[in-house]
Structures are given as C-alpha cells and as structure tokens.
Amino acid sequence: MTNMPTWEAFMIPTLQVMSDGAVRTRRDLNPLVAKSTQLNDAQTKEALSSGQLTYENRIGWGLSFLTNVGALVRPSRGNYVITDAGQQLLAQFPNGVREQDVKALGDDSSSPIRPYAKTASRRIKIEEPLAESASLTPTEQVQNGVKRIHSEVADELLSRLQDAHPSFFEDAVVQLLVAMGYGGTTGSGSVTQLSNDGGIDGVIDQDILGLSRVYIQAKRYADNNVVQRPEIQGFVGALHGKADSGVFITTSRFSKGAQDYVSSSPTRIVLIDGKRLADLMIRFGAGVQVRETYNIVEIDEDFFA
C-alpha cells in the first residue's frame, strides 16, 4: 500500500483549490487536489476493495466534512463553492487541519468561524483520538466505521431533502412509509394535490380496499425552522372526520409545545424529526443504496469437529 495522505490531510488542499471561488463538481476536484498534493502514479492508482480509487474516497470524506461545517456549500446538486468560513479556515490552518481542530473552534468565542464549528459539533460525531480507537477490536472498529458512514449519509440525506422541491419531499416521505410496510398488500401510497390538501400531504392505504389509511403531513424545513404547536393542531384539525391518527414528518425538529400537545391529544400523532427521518431512510433503503458489502468470517467449529 502507498503512503496515502489521510482524508483530513486532503481538506486544506481542497480548500486551496476552491479558494478561487469557482463552482466545481467532485469529479472536477479530484484531479486538481491530487495534483496539489503531488500524488505519485502509484497513489493515484491505489484502489479500495470496491474498486473506488482510495484518494478519491478520502477527498470525498474531506469534501463531505467541509460541507457539513459550512466551509463549502452546494449552490446546486453535485456542485460546490467555498464560503467566507472556508476562506477563514484556510487562512487559519494553511498547513493542515483536523476534525479536532474544527471542533475546538466551536468553543473559541474569538474564532470567526465559531458558528459553523458549533453546528458541526452538533451534527457530526468527532472521531475518538487514535490512541483510544487503537484499543478497539477489529469488529468494533468496523462497527464504528459503519456508524460514521451512516452519520455522514444521514446528514447528506437531510441536506438533499431540504434543497429539494416540496412536492419531491412529500413523495419521498410516502415512498419511505411504503418501504416500511405501511402500504397494505399492494404497497399503495399517494401524494395529495398541493392546491387543496387540507393540511394532509400524503395518504397510504393499509388494505386492498382502502378502508384503513395513514394520513401524512410533511414539512421540508431548514434546521432552524422548528415545527410549532399550531402546525400540529392544524394537522389534527385536517384529520377530523377522516382518521384518528396520523404521521407528521419534518426535516427539522419539533418544539416542546408541539411535543406536549401531541402527548395530551386524543388523536394519535406520531412525530418524526429530521434525525429520525434520516435514520429510517437508511434503515429501510429509501433514497440510499448499498455501495459495498463486507463479510466478517470466523472459524467453523463444526468443520473441525
């Protein structure tokens, strides 16, 4: 194996390439960052067991992290551009930056990118120090790696859903619930007309005849736009005469007032916030696909019996 830079080591070169303010895709970035870090021929050809080039995989991890902390943004799907916070991060750490460095900025009141670092510390689980992770068994390291991948994908899912058209989000929510089994034997689900939905965004039949239905309200909100009690009350009102239960889903979160109202309401309402939504999408394969599968083996004692 070549002496490949870590994914953290690719972050500052990525910001350096992006520092001109141009909008680039990940495909555009890969060769430019490889050239900036002076990767040799062997390093650019090194591949993972999946076939993906190792350096592209590590650049991708750095790109994802930088986007999560606000150093880069996506002006459109698949495109990236540097932000003022990214320029400041580059100026502060011209020789390299680590996750821990960014996390520390969240506690530094004088740091110009503190707001982004604080967001990162809430949304991203920082890796344990190398000395601690080295004490884990190989199985534990694999499990931790999978958890981290899921965390990154979950954040990307929410970002994509928040950037999508409201009708796309409503349809995605219906597809998720159908994937979870809430669609009867035929897997029937539909999105109501946007112009006259009466506070209901989706309906799923639970049986062939459609006698039992699940009613859905879907709110595609930014992280700081919290669902309040009046919105839940409006949904309950829309259910009156139709059903005694429903599902309210958002990409953000619910206020305490909204949660308290649901707890005391005779109408059964299930609340699904952004974190739970992303977890469910990963668990039931909605909006994601399996990229790699690893088999962990052990000795077959029966073979040697």
* Domain range list for the chain: 8-127, 135-305
**What's residue 155's pLDDT?**
85
**What's residue 152's pLDDT?**
82
**What's residue 123's pLDDT?**
43
**What's residue 46's pLDDT?**
92
**What's residue 12's pLDDT?**
96
Q: Which CATH architecture has domain 8-127?
A: Orthogonal Bundle (1.10)
**What's residue 113's pLDDT?**
56
Positions of the chain with pLDDT lower than 70, given as ranges: 1-2, 106-137, 184-198, 207-211, 305
Distance CA 294, CA 49 (A): 10
- Joined together, the tokens standing for residue 257 give 């007032």
**What's residue 107's pLDDT?**
61
**What's residue 300's pLDDT?**
81
**What's residue 108's pLDDT?**
58
51-90 confidence digits (pLDDT tens)? 889 999 899 889 988 988 889 998 877 789 999 989 999 9
For the domain spanning 135-305, the CATH number is 3.40.1350.10
**What's residue 126's pLDDT?**
36
